[in-house]
Amino acid sequence: MKTTRTIFLILMGLSLNQVLVGQFVTDHNAIFQGDLAQPQKGVLTTDPNFHTPLLRLTDARSSEIHGLAPDYSKRLAWNCDESFLLLRSGWGDAYLFNGGNYQFVKALNGVAGDDVFWHPSDPQKLYYSIDSALYSYNVVTDLVTEVHLFTPYNFANTCGEGNLSNDGRYYALAERYYNYTTGEVTYHDLTVYDIREDKIVSTVNLPQEQLSDFDWVSISPLGNYVVVDYASWETGRYHGMEVYDRNFNFIWQKGLGPGHSDMGLDASGKEVLIIDIYNETDNLTHICKFDLATGDSTSLLTVSPLFDLHESCRSMLRPGWVLVSTFDYVGRLSDSKEDWLPFEDEVFALKMDGSGSVERYAHHHSREYSTYTPNRDSGAVYFAEPRATMSKSGNRILFASNWRLTMNEDFSVDCYLVDLRNMITGYSDVLTDKSKNVIRIYPNPIGDYLNIHYENGPLDGYIGIFDPIGKEVKSFPLNKDQAIFDLTDLQAGIYYFKIFDKNGANPKMGKIVKL
């Protein structure tokens, strides 16, 4: 008798052995996108190059909506328990969908602006910023509450690319004055606000005479640092990328240029910045990791400078990986198998350890430049950038695409899903703790029993097993060199583990698949 999982693999054209050996494409070769008919809304298809399940979630044109897509690579699209999904239109309107079956729920009237965030623990609440006020919004009852009014300036937010801290407590923002007559923006203060305590933690004034540009500001994932991006190559204070602690004590500055970026946690739990940087010396774009505490950098991968890219570290339950989506510049408006480049027009995950390890998921088939309007300044449809983002649990990916059809219209952009929940993988079967001792987790995928071996034992702590939305479903003490744990009562699926020390701290995290 065929199991549901086996039937799924057959439908994808894969055998059990193929999947267990490694179903993700993990090399760095050029894989030509080729032609693929645009999927119909709600009809499951398979990416022909990466063998991943692909689902078109929306049909904006038939709904008379100016495109539908994830808000941004840096923003979570699903709420905390993944029961709701938030998409934005090309005009910035917010729309609510069911997070499981992807059916339209309603338009979120009044929810707009550059900063829209899901609450980290309340699945019905989101925050949004309008002018200089931060509001909360209940997506079920439509109740709107003013959280805080920032004065005396008329605009206060992250400028569209920042986030709340992962626990939802801290919010770093730029307070500025916008002249509605001239369109001129004057940046004045950077502020850290404590949402939980409803108080200003710290503020620093920006010296007008030293500012050449300003892009965004954000609190770090754990709330320890404030990162300010002036999007310039210049060195010196108030240029490039600056990092402060939460009280605005200056830590480091680097002229990293105008690359896209996101902040997340690496596998060791450090807060890091992932950013793409063009290097004139080798004429390549480097995806780099910077330790926020020290400024130390690691080059993770190099790609062609002929395309741009976004990074996303939104899969908090899968630390140590960043989701990358690439898209062509105006100079590449024709496709050729002969000169197709590695990772071109692609969505893939990149490991943060410098090994170059990748998992390649899909081609997005989107282009922001029409062959009729190939002008970077006036002919681009910015909304057609894929802006791929992962769910918090790391097992679903959203991206935007116009499928290269009527490329000069927002109407052509729709939201697509790559669903990895039934795919088999082992992310981290070998871990190293702070004492450089090696912990081995095997097998992965597992049957009924999970083995843990500590080479320099004995272990001293415990292991927790968590489901995809972060609920702990099992825990076991660790107090010997070798441990075998019975997981026969767990249903088949993807789970996450955390190995804690005896004080319940310093977790080592990874992913397991139960067959």
Rounded distance between C-alpha atoms, residue 216 and residue 180, angstroms: 21
Q: Which pTM does this prediction carry?
A: 0.80
Residue 18, pLDDT > 70, answer no
Q: Average pLDDT, whole number, for the chain?
A: 87
Q: Report the pLDDT averaged over residues 405-420.
A: 93
Q: Report the pLDDT averaged over residues 366-376.
A: 75
Residue 448, pLDDT > 50, answer yes
Q: Is 377 exposed, middle or buried (0-12, 13-18, 19+ CB in 10 A)?
A: exposed
Q: Report the pLDDT averaged over residues 2-28.
A: 47
Share of the chain above pLDDT 90, in %: 65
Specify which of 192-206, 311-325, 378-392 reaches the highest per-range mean pLDDT: 192-206
Q: What is the pLDDT of residue 16?
A: 32
Q: What string of DSSP letters covers 132-173?
A: TEEEEEETTT--EEEEEE--SSSEEE-TTS----TTS-EEEE
Residue 445, pLDDT > 80, answer no
Residue 327 identity = F
Q: What is the pLDDT of residue 8?
A: 35
Q: What is the pLDDT of residue 333?
A: 78
Q: Report the pLDDT averaged over residues 6-12.
A: 36
Q: What is the pLDDT of residue 10?
A: 36
Residue 493 banded pLDDT, cuts 50, 70, 90: confident
Rounded distance between C-alpha atoms, residue 478 and residue 489, angstroms: 20
**20: helix, strand or coil:** helix
Which phi and psi (to 5°) does residue 46 adopt?
A: -130, 130
Q: What is the pLDDT of residue 322?
A: 97
Residue 429, pLDDT > 70, answer no
Q: Report the pLDDT averaged over residues 93-122.
A: 95
Residue 171 · residue 128 · CB < 8 Å: no
Residue 507, pLDDT > 90, answer no
Q: What is the pLDDT of residue 513?
A: 80
At the second CATH level, the architecture of 430-514 is: Sandwich (2.60)
Q: What is the pLDDT of residue 281?
A: 96
Specify which of 189-198, 390-399, 481-490, 492-501 reaches the highest per-range mean pLDDT: 189-198
**228: helix, strand or coil:** strand
Q: What is the pLDDT of residue 437?
A: 57
Residue 375, pLDDT > 90, answer no
Share of the chain above pLDDT 70, in %: 88
Residue 60, pLDDT > 80, answer yes
User: What digits encode the pLDDT tens for the residues 69-100?
Assistant: 999 999 999 998 899 999 999 999 999 999 99
Residue 376, pLDDT > 70, answer no
Q: What is the pLDDT of residue 5?
A: 38
Residue 297, pLDDT > 80, answer yes
Residue 398, pLDDT > 80, answer yes
Rounded distance between C-alpha atoms, residue 120 and residue 106, angstroms: 21
Q: What is the pLDDT of residue 218?
A: 98
User: What digits encode the pLDDT tens for the residues 121-143?
Assistant: 899 999 999 999 999 999 999 99
Q: What is the pLDDT of residue 379?
A: 62
